[in-house]
Structure 1
Amino acid sequence: MTTPRLPDGWTVRPDPRTWRVDGGATWIGGSPPRVLRLSAAARRHLVGPELVVADATTAALARLLSDAGVAHPVPSPVDAPGPADVTVVVPVKDRTDELDRLLAAVRATAPGVGIVVVDDGSADPAATEAVVERHGGRVVRHRTSRGPSAGRNTGARAGAAPVIAFLDSDVVPEQGWLETLLGHLGDPAVGVVAPRIAAWSHGGPENAVTRYERRRSSLDLGERPAPVTARSRVAYVPSAALVVRREAFGDGFREDMPVAEDVDLVWRIAAAGWRLRYEPAARVAHEHRAAVRAWLGRKAFYGTGAAPLARQHPRRVPPVALAPWTAGAVTLLGVQRRWSTAAAGVVTLVATARLARGLRKPGEPWAVWRQRWHIADIQRQRRAIADTLTGPAPLAAVLAPWGLGGALWQAAGALTRHWWPAAALGAIVSRRVRRALLLAAVAEGLADWLRFRDPGAGPLDALAHLAAHRADDVAYGAGLWWGAWRHRTLAPLLPDLSGKGPDA
């Protein structure tokens, strides 16, 4: 599809973690990280802390920055649909108490929406219908259970509103959630927008599982907004709370996928040319599982979805994605010998030098990967990239170790999550594998705790978090291997060492 321009009045703000140097000419950020250099003509439009779209030129520049993830659009009522343009679709089987709680929250936070509840074979359909009627919705019934994907598709077909808001029965939307999300749909290029799914607090005591899920739920994608793209910081958004433009919905959820059907849907929508946004300013609470057995079962269930995803979306779900030189350096460090550690240092130094040389052009000592696209070219290309940084050697000295650190982090995560069954077997016969696995398990787990800990949390909390984090990984990895076996594919277990993006 041809990307439509952003409307006048839209605003984009730089991500707080975007590094702007060289007088604002060079931007470093996004996910995966990239280096962007803007032409002088483009920089003239970036006078203040944000960019306001006023014409085709600023619209193209705003699109570039938001697509790259170095800046984010501010939800705007300009040209945005309203609640009357929305149908809320809820698939449910039994769970009338949770459904009642959800619909009450929907009516309190978005009173103008239509509501369609798909009863997916409940044991007591009259009870479900009574709850829905009390909140002014309507029920579509499956006589036998066909699964949540079929329920969502049935609900979507039952309405004609231009926007569909999918909500699961175990969520509770918070005030302002829909208005904020609809603000993104004022951009005609955005087909999907999702809120942050945070833990629902009912005021009761926490246990180790609920505490960990509050911090590290697979549904909670963090406090930073982002474009949604494969192999990025926000690679998917869950269907527990998802707002979709009907025009982008297409054939809907795949009903033969009991898990990861939401990831499949958003990737298909993205492949069709739509933009997808994650907006944490909109919040929907989720009632996480509290029982250990149910929690681990859900993690393993999620893991089984990697195999069908890898088959349907090649190169989008590798356990690690590394450039060849970082893969070589990590492998040498894994050998755990003095000579191999020294060799890894040499590889990093060589990569730094080659990067610094690549950042130069003859006659232009401070230009790197530079394509001279000015504003007229930006409008044609929908890009304004001229990748560079002032001083190729200093830039290379930052980017190369940064790349190696990211590679080590990925490797530690894969060793303890995706590859742990193979690593555990290797640890039985190899002291070096045992040492690497133990180091990865402890170091990555403690680093994860430091990142997500509550203020004032102490050593006992760190140990509990470490244990829960490793249990999460073991369950997910077990499900991943089981799914790979069932689908007879190694695709979700194989690393991508090409150093290229998924569409290369």
Structure 2
Amino acid sequence: MGKTQFDAVVIGRNEGDRLARVLERATTHARRVIYVDSGSHDDSVAQARAAGANVVELDPARPFTAARARNEGFAALGPDRAEFVHFIDGDSIIDVDWLQSGNVFLQQNPNAALVHGYNVEEAPDASVYNWLTSQEWQKQTGPDASGIGTFLARSAAFAQVGGFRADMIAAEDDELFFRLRKAGWQTWCVSEAMAAHDVRLHAFSPWFRRMIRAGHSFAELGALHEGAARMSRLRAVVWAGVLPVMGVLGVWVWWPLGLLVMALYAMSAVRLWRRCMSQGLPSRPAAKAAGLLVIAKFAHLYGMATYWIGRFRRSDAKIIEYK
């Protein structure tokens, strides 16, 4: 494949040795590569320059977000940018076969603003947290796909809608996809491996912060686009808000109500345990994953609350880092 079909924008922050592999793949196959760094304290900038990428270092006077980084990388390509631009997260190594098939897909589908495939988690068995993340990448295929940060975009479509909302700290990809569809474009997910991802989640605390960030995104998407993430928000409110209140009332007012709440949580945990086993997890890890999925609703509700509190106070949202 020649080097004239697409440009690439790689974003990163303290990605370590993995960034070199990400950049090597990008610079080998893209016409031009822009690396955008969000205040790294390691040698990410030096690695990018050594790989031959053009480097943009974000001004720390403004809050860092992945959305802002991608926008500034796209802007750095200038007016002579390629017809297609691949946005790549610094922890995702693009599959060589995908680079060809993604370009062909956009060439053959003029109504598609973008296309992405599946992220494949490199070490899903390293921890139950990694495994849960690998399940997040199983997006529904078709022309109305949900968002993901790594994707191949049609430059004209991206520019038409003004790129990402730079102030969003999470789900900026979903929000962009919503606006593209409202503008008449299709946002495609195809059933093909796109990138090897390395989430590196091996402890409860970073995973819980990731879930808080997800909850924040549910609330913000719902505020920006009617109906967006409605079921995710409803599940968080019911399982982490309504039912615990009912349980407390059961203790103090009517004890059968408390038993009912406990039974509902038990039934939910069993259902999730069986689902995880059906997806390939052994019994004990599946039980842990089921428990984490129940706990995630509390993190989601907390993240939703932080969004609305910040909006009420009219304060800027701060990025929720989990690595």
Q: Specify if TM > 0.5.
A: yes
Answering whether residue 58 of structure 2 is matched by residue 142 of structure 1, we say yes
In the alignment, the residues of structure 2 paired with residue 211 and residue 306 of structure 1 have an alpha-carbon distance, to the nearest angstrom, of 22
Answering whether residue 90 of structure 2 is matched by residue 169 of structure 1, we say yes
- In structure 2, what is the equivalent of residue 278 of structure 1? 189
In the alignment, the residues of structure 2 paired with residue 167 and residue 148 of structure 1 have an alpha-carbon distance, to the nearest angstrom, of 11
1:471 offset after TM fit, Å? 2.8
Secondary structure, counterpart of 1:238 in structure 2: coil
Answering whether residue 15 of structure 2 is matched by residue 86 of structure 1, we say no
- In structure 2, what is the equivalent of residue 182 of structure 1? 103
The amino acid of 2:271's aligned partner reads E
In the alignment, the residues of structure 2 paired with residue 416 and residue 453 of structure 1 have an alpha-carbon distance, to the nearest angstrom, of 26
1:199 corresponds, among 121, 124, 136, to 121
- In structure 1, what is the equivalent of residue 34 of structure 2? 116
The amino acid of 1:244's aligned partner reads A
Secondary structure, counterpart of 1:314 in structure 2: coil
- In structure 2, what is the equivalent of residue 291 of structure 1? 203
Secondary structure, counterpart of 1:113 in structure 2: coil
Q: Is the 8 A contact 1:418 1:480 kept in 2?
A: no
- In structure 1, what is the equivalent of residue 214 of structure 2? 302
Q: Is the 8 A contact 1:90 1:166 kept in 2?
A: yes
1:161 offset after TM fit, Å? 1.4
CA 1:151 to 1:415, structure 2 compared with 1: closer, same or farther past 3 Å? closer
In the alignment, the residues of structure 2 paired with residue 112 and residue 293 of structure 1 have an alpha-carbon distance, to the nearest angstrom, of 37
Answering whether residue 170 of structure 2 is matched by residue 252 of structure 1, we say no
Secondary structure, counterpart of 2:169 in structure 1: coil
CA 1:257 to 1:303, structure 2 compared with 1: closer, same or farther past 3 Å? same
In the alignment, the residues of structure 2 paired with residue 485 and residue 433 of structure 1 have an alpha-carbon distance, to the nearest angstrom, of 32
The amino acid of 1:195's aligned partner reads G
In the alignment, the residues of structure 2 paired with residue 440 and residue 483 of structure 1 have an alpha-carbon distance, to the nearest angstrom, of 30
In the alignment, the residues of structure 2 paired with residue 122 and residue 143 of structure 1 have an alpha-carbon distance, to the nearest angstrom, of 12
In the alignment, the residues of structure 1 paired with residue 106 and residue 128 of structure 2 have an alpha-carbon distance, to the nearest angstrom, of 38
In the alignment, the residues of structure 1 paired with residue 10 and residue 216 of structure 2 have an alpha-carbon distance, to the nearest angstrom, of 24
> Structure 2: which 5+ runs fail to align?
251-256, 313-323
Secondary structure, counterpart of 1:116 in structure 2: strand
The amino acid of 2:300's aligned partner reads Y
Answering whether residue 148 of structure 2 is matched by residue 238 of structure 1, we say yes
Secondary structure, counterpart of 2:33 in structure 1: strand
Larger C-alpha radius of gyration, 1 or 2? 1
Q: Is the 8 A contact 2:272 2:290 kept in 1?
A: yes
> Structure 1: which 5+ runs fail to align?
1-80, 229-233, 321-412, 489-504
CA 1:462 to 1:417, structure 2 compared with 1: closer, same or farther past 3 Å? farther
Q: Is the 8 A contact 1:94 1:122 kept in 2?
A: yes
Secondary structure, counterpart of 1:143 in structure 2: coil
- In structure 2, what is the equivalent of residue 315 of structure 1? 227
Answering whether residue 70 of structure 2 is matched by residue 156 of structure 1, we say no
In the alignment, the residues of structure 1 paired with residue 219 and residue 110 of structure 2 have an alpha-carbon distance, to the nearest angstrom, of 33
Answering whether residue 241 of structure 2 is matched by residue 421 of structure 1, we say yes
Greater shift after overlay, 131-140 or 166-175? Answer: 131-140
Deviations 1:434-460 (A, max 9, x none): 155225422431342144224xx3x32
Q: Is the 8 A contact 1:164 1:245 kept in 2?
A: yes
TM-score by structure 2 length? 0.81
CA 1:146 to 1:450, structure 2 compared with 1: closer, same or farther past 3 Å? closer
Greater percentage in helix = 2
CA 1:119 to 1:176, structure 2 compared with 1: closer, same or farther past 3 Å? same
- In structure 1, what is the equivalent of residue 138 of structure 2? 221
1:291 offset after TM fit, Å? 2.3
CA 1:291 to 1:112, structure 2 compared with 1: closer, same or farther past 3 Å? same
1:461 offset after TM fit, Å? 3.1
Q: Is the 8 A contact 1:415 1:437 kept in 2?
A: no
Deviations 1:398-424 (A, max 9, x none): xxxxxxxxxxxxxxx955676422211
Deviations 1:101-132 (A, max 9, x none): 21123345xx24321001233346xx434322
In the alignment, the residues of structure 1 paired with residue 195 and residue 49 of structure 2 have an alpha-carbon distance, to the nearest angstrom, of 23
In the alignment, the residues of structure 2 paired with residue 282 and residue 417 of structure 1 have an alpha-carbon distance, to the nearest angstrom, of 34
1:149 offset after TM fit, Å? 1.4
Task: Give percent identity, aligned residues only.
Answer: 21
1:265 offset after TM fit, Å? 0.6
Tell me the C-alpha RMSD between the 2 structures: 2.7
TM-score by structure 1 length? 0.54
CA 1:418 to 1:84, structure 2 compared with 1: closer, same or farther past 3 Å? farther
In the alignment, the residues of structure 1 paired with residue 3 and residue 259 of structure 2 have an alpha-carbon distance, to the nearest angstrom, of 59
Secondary structure, counterpart of 2:117 in structure 1: strand
1:152 offset after TM fit, Å? 0.6
In the alignment, the residues of structure 1 paired with residue 83 and residue 238 of structure 2 have an alpha-carbon distance, to the nearest angstrom, of 40
In the alignment, the residues of structure 1 paired with residue 131 and residue 100 of structure 2 have an alpha-carbon distance, to the nearest angstrom, of 30
CA 1:96 to 1:213, structure 2 compared with 1: closer, same or farther past 3 Å? closer
Q: Is the 8 A contact 2:68 2:167 kept in 1?
A: no
1:311 offset after TM fit, Å? 1.5
Query: Aligned pair count?
Result: 296
Secondary structure, counterpart of 1:310 in structure 2: helix
Answering whether residue 307 of structure 2 is matched by residue 483 of structure 1, we say yes
- In structure 2, what is the equivalent of residue 130 of structure 1? 46
1:319 offset after TM fit, Å? 2.0
